[in-house]
Amino acid sequence: MSDEAHILVVDDDARLRGLLSRYLAEQGFRVTTAADAADARDKLRFVQPDLMVLDVMMPGEGGLAFTASLRGELGDVVPVLLLTARGAPEDRIAGFEAGADDYLGKPFEPLELVLRIRALLRRSAPAPTVPAAPSGPLPLGALSFDVARGELSGPGGVLRLTGGEAALLTALAGKPNEVLSREDIAAALDMDEAGERAIDVQVTRLRRKIEADPREPRFLHTVRGRGYVLKPGI
């Protein structure tokens, strides 16, 4: 993934917004900034970012609500990284449940932000992040997953997946019927140890898209104490 990616930074702190804009530009990114969710919506009328960095604690529409609305309005194609002073596990989970792809607590090292951005961009790229799976689409009931394209299709056409969901499904589809630990999946998705906790949330979100009843999964199974396994089938 080239560093020519376009980043939209949304933060009500003018000083931090300026610092991030300069630092990301120095790293080779194109950067657009917005002071709040309303300003970001105006900017989105004219720009198509490759990734969005959102502050959680903003006046008016906060980062969590804005992320959830973005998923409903724009779909799941643009990765979202949340910034917040709230770093408790429940806050991180709330961010992922709102549709975020990553979560970074304040204060943070600018280099860590850049590394996380690059990881998200790699995960959202069309090419698979793991070795190729068995040839041909994997059947998942009425759906099928094309590993080479990272596309989930059904009778109505291609279904939208977030970058994280597509990377997770690609990792599991690369080794069908084989149990992958959270550590294995985190490594395949280029996530750190903290990101392993987010895998459970990504699994829950993915099940909502591939399972008729997410509470009784037919294809994406949890193996207690070991990890997850994808069992394709008609």
> Is residue 133's pLDDT more than 50?
no
Residues 6+ apart with CB under 8 A from 194: 92
Please count the structural domains in the chain. Answer: 2
Residue 74 pairs in a beta bridge with: none
Read off the pLDDT of each residue in 42-66 and give the average, rounded to a whole number: 90
Residues 97-129: tens digit of each pLDDT: 888 888 888 888 999 999 999 999 887 765 444
Rounded Cα distance between 212 and 139, Å, is 14
Read off the pLDDT of each residue in 89-95 and give the average, rounded to a whole number: 78
Q: Which segment of 132-136, 137-141, 151-155, 222-226 scores lowest on mean pLDDT?
A: 132-136
Q: Name the burial class of residue 232, with classes exposed (0-12), middle (13-18) and buried (19+) by CB atoms within 10 angstroms of its CB.
A: buried
Residue 1 lies in a domain: no
Query: Does residue 78 share a domain with residue 18?
Result: yes
**pTM to 2 decimal places:** 0.55
Q: What is the CATH number of the domain that holds 70?
A: 3.40.50.2300
Residue 130 lies in a domain: no
Confidence of residue 233 (pLDDT cuts 50, 70, 90): confident
Q: In the block, which residue shows the tokens 């969590």?
A: 64
Q: What is the CATH number of the domain that holds 188?
A: 1.10.10.10
Q: Name the burial class of residue 181, with classes exposed (0-12), middle (13-18) and buried (19+) by CB atoms within 10 angstroms of its CB.
A: middle
Query: Does residue 150 share a domain with residue 117?
Result: no
Concatenated DSSP letters for 121-155? HHHHSSS-SS---SSSPEEETTEEEETTTTEEEET
pLDDT given for residue 129 in this prediction = 41
Query: Does residue 119 share a domain with residue 143?
Result: no
Residue 154 pairs in a beta bridge with: 157
Read off the pLDDT of each residue in 62-90 and give the average, rounded to a whole number: 82
Q: What is the domain extent for residue 87?
A: 6-124
Rounded Cα distance between 84 and 107, Å, is 8
Around 226, how many Cα atoms within 13 Å sit in the side-chain half-sphere? 9
> Is residue 66's pLDDT more than 60?
yes
- Percentage of the chain lying above the pLDDT 70 cut: 89
Residue 132 lies in a domain: no
pLDDT given for residue 2 in this prediction = 41
Residues 165-182: tens digit of each pLDDT: 888 999 999 888 999 988
> Is residue 209's pLDDT more than 70?
yes
Query: Does residue 153 share a domain with residue 51?
Result: no
